[in-house]
Structure 1
Amino acid sequence: MRSVLLAAAALLAAAPALAQQSLTIGLATPPTALDPHYHAHAQSSATAAHVFEQLHAPDAKMQIVPRLATGATTTDGITWDVSLREGVRWHDGTPFTADDVAFSIHRAANVPNSPGSFGTYTREVRRIEVTGPLSLRITAAAPAPLLMANLSNIFIVSRRHGEGATTDDYNSGKAMIGTGPYRFARWSAGTEIHFARNDAYWGQREPWERASFRVIANNTARTAALLAGDVDLIADIPSTDVARVRGDRRFQVVTVASNRLVFLGLDRTDEALATGHVRAAEGAPALARNPLGEVRVRRALSMAIDRRALVERINEGQAIATGQFLPEGFFGHFADIPVERHDPEGARRLLAEAGFPAGFRLTLTTSNDRIVNSARMVQAIGQMWTRIGVATSVETMPHAVFTPRRNRYELPVFLSSWGNQTGESLYTLVPQLGTRGQGGLGNANRIRYSNPALDRLFVAAGTEIDAPRRLGLIRQATDIALADAVMLPLLLQVNNWGARQGLGMAPRVDQYTLAMSVRPAD
């Protein structure tokens, strides 16, 4: 009997240690694919970061730091010599080489059917030469001071496993062979994903033998899973639940102001009328032209929005109202650009001046499982627009449905978000507002917007090595973008995670939820 009691006591004593070997995280949004080059999408990239690595990568505060590269030098911004880390091996034991990097940069821009191509981040690359097993030379088409920052978005994959591999081969796990701190274990699309620790990792050894992610799209259910102990940590605590989690001594709230901009996209083309989402006022003749093609109409819609009410009443203060594209502290944030003043009377006057005194009708869409409080925000915005005479209905849908519909230009008026991964505003402006198909510009442009003057500024800023001159070009581009009012900045998210006590977490400005950010508390 004594030996049985001793054995039972030993098991009980070991239980906390066993529990510490695994980490379970609840997510609001699933990745769209496991292929790290399929979709430039925050949750997909956060998932990929467990298995794959970049040459350089942003840390929790968005500072670009070396990963697989140990150095990158240039004298003219055109030719870059890159040195790679020694002793790195793929999960199958084969050595990592410069040839894998060259293959990855080429593949990233050429994945079939990508809903958001990584080509915007490789567009400056003209030639790649492998100069040694762990060295390569990248030649840009023109001076490219941001080349390494842009390539920090490209995950490096194994040529051996990636050559000829399809996105389905990554999704099945067949090609999921990386150099990262975790190995792929299994994935159930839209439901859960599991990783196992890579004990042969070149860097710091992770404390978790197993890291699992469960997709819990419903806000109430996600908080409930944390409070019930079903998960150790959750991303995107609903703003309505922050005080509740913070007030429970068993749990903690981890918070950081984010780089994620919530904005409205407006398709001003007449082709948008075919969607039925932009219509004449009740009883009026059918529209012959898109009202959104008139800048005064777009300005009126912006003026009608009470951004501070969105922050205080819809997001319970867990957001920051903004009138521009980047948060304070980023290269391309300008302190003298104000938040748009809420002016419904002025908005009505602009509508009348534009030839729409009776208004018109819109359908405003968004995903209901990607942006915190997105469904509540579009309802509020719809009411604000309706008050100025633009009768607005609202449609919400899962992100997995919203994204392809938006990408097919079926949703001409939408609320979306964008996280800036490089700390410089070109990362936001070029993909969102560049003319799609023009030399890699506009890869995330879903509103058919084109402004040649803005494109020229993007190219000029992207090749300007002198930082003050580049900032001046960015200011010109920012002013044009804001004046055209096709991408209306609303607010910057505040990122909130909920975690059980006993965990320490380094919160990330980019909103990524990584097992690598979580440690047992000291």
Structure 2
Amino acid sequence: MIQAKKSLLALALLAATATLASAQTLRWAGAGDPLTLDPYAQNESLTNVFNGQVYEFLVARDRKLQLVPQLATEWKQNSALKWTFKLRPGVKFHDGKPLTADDVIFSLERAKQPSSQIAVYANALGEAKKIDALTVEFNLPKANPIFLEHINTLYIMSKTWAEDNKATKTQDFANKEESYAAFNTNGTGPFQLVSRAPDNKTVYKRNPNYWGKIEGNVQEIVYTPIKSDATRTAALVSGEVDFVLDPAPRDLEKLAATPGVKIVNGPENRVIFLGLDQGRDELLYSNVKGKNPLKDVRVRRALYQAIDIVTIKDKLMNGQASPTGAVVPSPLGSLNDPEIERRLPYDVNAAKKLLAEAGYPQGFEVQLDCSNNRYVNDERICVTLAAQWAKVGVKTRVNAQPKAQFFNKVEKLDTSIYMFGWGGSITDPESIFTSHYRNRGEKGVGEYNRGNFKDDELDALVAASSVEADPDKRKVLIKKVFQRQAEQVHYIPLHRQFIPWAARSNVDVVHRADNWLEVRWVNVKAK
């Protein structure tokens, strides 16, 4: 009898321990997988979110996206071209080595390398100089009106760790280079990497020596990519996973009515748009030979006006999108100006007329590249666009691929038309201007101009707005940038997507408009 009671007590203790452990593990699923663990090799949101659990910035974001101290405790602008930062004392990397000014300087130089996808932001930070072990001075070559926003893109890496592991060079993701930093990590953040199996499972554990405050109770993160919307939804409903960052819009009503599941909703700072090849003399993946119809602005306008954006919003996105005429992540970036936000009208007859004027009365064939696991309804949007363009004679072959292959393809400019998204925590238009609106050049300028258009007028306007310190003069330049883009239709805007998250009812998360899950704020309650 005594033995039986002891056994029952042991089982009860085991069950209690298991419940506690389960309550402290966040089982997270998403359609895609982080592309790389090298924090500079890809500037992609999900990848950044996971790297952000391990690596930290000098200046971070709070729940409302306001800038707050992180690895820097204070900073000041000494002059128009000089900033000084004081580093937080006592911070250690996961391998136990202390954070110093040398790590900041190393990180900046590494992020400037040609293979870095944040080079355009790193170069905007100028040169870093060590004042003492915990003081860094940034000297800029020209004024930068959003310097602090750019500082928030630079993860700080350990110089000695990178040197010891031959990881001083940013991974060349486009050329499928493998590197130590792509599969291993060493940051100062609240979580440490335990294991990484790309496209299968990635596991993190809480950093027991974290310098800061962890408000949530998560001890372990287990991330599993589940491409299928139906399978991902089923896993959440059954309780196999606790959290889904990207539930399918068509499943939201069902999930909201499911016991034990809740929806956490909010708009995202992300614009979805189309890029078009305007660089080649002959269009790829087309039946048009010897010329490129996308070089003609009339063709670009025709494709734009053939898009029924209201149907996409209402029928495909279930209302979870906000159509826009401005290729900028946030309406704050377009100055909340209705004229800048105004779309070209949906008009099939006008589109056919423009195509005929351009010499394509019967239309032409083209390929539309898109991801199938990156943006909300990405493949279905592309299929819908193809059907709408068919009405004006443009026969479109949709090439939908997982985001790793898609990004690699588009990065090499191996595309005719591609659907892309851009967003994050920065609401200023500079977050997209220099990377997308400028002619392709050195140091990351025009890096994401994957249509390879050359527009010297637009390039000059963006360059001027990037260094104009006077707010009123800068607003004038920003409006001119948007006006030029609207005239030339280098990009076709679609919408800003909303981001509903789905979670088990015992999981409390903080929804941020940059679609960033900060796991140190997450609480998983015992069931």
**Equivalences for 1:273-352 in 2 at 5 Å?**
273=283, 275=284, 277-280=285-288, 287-324=289-326, 325-330=328-333, 332-337=335-340, 338-352=342-356
Give the superposition deviation at 1:88. Answer: 1.0
Give the superposition deviation at 1:307. Answer: 0.9
Q: What is the TM-score with the length of structure 2 in the denominator?
A: 0.93
Letter in 1 for 2:154: I
Give the superposition deviation at 1:418. Answer: 1.0
Match of 1:90 in 2: 93
Note the alpha carbon deviations across 1:17-53, whole angstroms, 9 max, x for none.
2211211100211111111111111122111101100
Q: Does 1:359 align with 2:363?
A: yes
Give the superposition deviation at 1:251. Answer: 0.5
Partner of 2:144: helix, strand, or coil? coil
- Tell me which moved more, 3-12 or 35-44: 3-12
Match of 2:20 in 1: 17
Q: Does 1:199 align with 2:208?
A: yes
Contact 1:38–1:111 at 8 Å: present in 2 too?
no
Contact 1:385–1:392 at 8 Å: present in 2 too?
yes
C-alpha change, 1:126 and 1:506, in structure 2 (3 Å) is closer
Contact 2:218–2:522 at 8 Å: present in 1 too?
no
Equivalents in 1 of 2:334, 2:323: separation in Å?
A: 19
Specify which of 183, 201, 204 is matched with residue 172 of structure 1. 183
Match of 2:471 in 1: 467
Give the superposition deviation at 1:271. Answer: 4.1
Equivalents in 2 of 1:388, 1:199: separation in Å?
A: 61
Specify which of 230, 237, 255 is matched with residue 247 of structure 2. 237
Give the superposition deviation at 1:455. Answer: 1.8
Q: Taking every aligned residue pair, what percent have the same amino acid on both sides?
A: 30
Give the superposition deviation at 1:65. Answer: 2.2
C-alpha change, 1:278 and 1:77, in structure 2 (3 Å) is farther
Specify which of 252, 255, 258 is matched with residue 262 of structure 2. 252
Letter in 2 for 1:132: D
Q: Does 1:26 align with 2:35?
A: no
**Equivalences for 1:69-108 in 2 at 5 Å?**
69-108=72-111
Contact 1:366–1:415 at 8 Å: present in 2 too?
yes
- Tell me which moved more, 341-350 or 8-17: 8-17
Equivalents in 1 of 2:44, 2:16: separation in Å?
A: 43
Equivalents in 2 of 1:516, 1:217: separation in Å?
A: 26
Contact 2:114–2:444 at 8 Å: present in 1 too?
no
Give the superposition deviation at 1:456. Answer: 1.6
Equivalents in 1 of 2:124, 2:62: separation in Å?
A: 24
Give the superposition deviation at 1:151. Answer: 2.1
- Tell me which moved more, 244-253 or 61-70: 61-70
Contact 2:363–2:395 at 8 Å: present in 1 too?
yes
Partner of 1:362: helix, strand, or coil? strand
C-alpha change, 1:185 and 1:493, in structure 2 (3 Å) is same
**Equivalences for 1:433-452 in 2 at 5 Å?**
433-438=437-442, 440-452=444-456
Gaps spanning 5+ residues in structure 2: where?
A: 172-178
Contact 1:76–1:143 at 8 Å: present in 2 too?
no
Gaps spanning 5+ residues in structure 1: where?
A: 281-286
Q: Does 1:223 align with 2:233?
A: yes
Match of 1:418 in 2: 422
Equivalents in 2 of 1:306, 1:265: separation in Å?
A: 18
Equivalents in 2 of 1:151, 1:34: separation in Å?
A: 20
Q: Does 1:520 align with 2:524?
A: yes
C-alpha change, 1:475 and 1:438, in structure 2 (3 Å) is farther
Residues paired across the two proteins, number: 509
Letter in 2 for 1:278: S
Letter in 2 for 1:511: N
Equivalents in 2 of 1:25, 1:215: separation in Å?
A: 8
Match of 1:370 in 2: 374
Contact 2:301–2:351 at 8 Å: present in 1 too?
yes
Give the superposition deviation at 1:464. Answer: 1.3
C-alpha change, 1:457 and 1:313, in structure 2 (3 Å) is same
C-alpha change, 1:218 and 1:514, in structure 2 (3 Å) is farther
CA RMSD of aligned residues (A): 1.8
Contact 1:310–1:377 at 8 Å: present in 2 too?
yes
Partner of 1:226: helix, strand, or coil? helix
Letter in 2 for 1:397: Q
Specify which of 44, 50, 59 is matched with residue 47 of structure 2. 44
Partner of 2:497: helix, strand, or coil? strand
Equivalents in 1 of 2:260, 2:503: separation in Å?
A: 9
C-alpha change, 1:154 and 1:266, in structure 2 (3 Å) is same
Match of 2:196 in 1: 187
Equivalents in 2 of 1:251, 1:54: separation in Å?
A: 33
Letter in 2 for 1:253: I
Contact 2:271–2:422 at 8 Å: present in 1 too?
yes
Give the superposition deviation at 1:515. Answer: 2.2
Match of 1:136 in 2: 136
Give the superposition deviation at 1:279. Answer: 2.4
Specify which of 456, 459, 463 is matched with residue 460 of structure 2. 456
Match of 1:59 in 2: 62
Match of 1:507 in 2: 511
Letter in 1 for 2:204: F
C-alpha change, 1:271 and 1:54, in structure 2 (3 Å) is farther
Match of 1:210 in 2: 220
Contact 1:364–1:378 at 8 Å: present in 2 too?
yes
Letter in 2 for 1:468: D
Equivalents in 1 of 2:464, 2:80: separation in Å?
A: 14
Note the alpha carbon deviations across 1:312-337, whole angstroms, 9 max, x for none.
11111111111112333346442333
Equivalents in 1 of 2:442, 2:8: separation in Å?
A: 73
Contact 2:58–2:69 at 8 Å: present in 1 too?
yes
Runs of 4+ in 1 over 6 A off after TM superposition: none
Equivalents in 2 of 1:22, 1:111: separation in Å?
A: 38
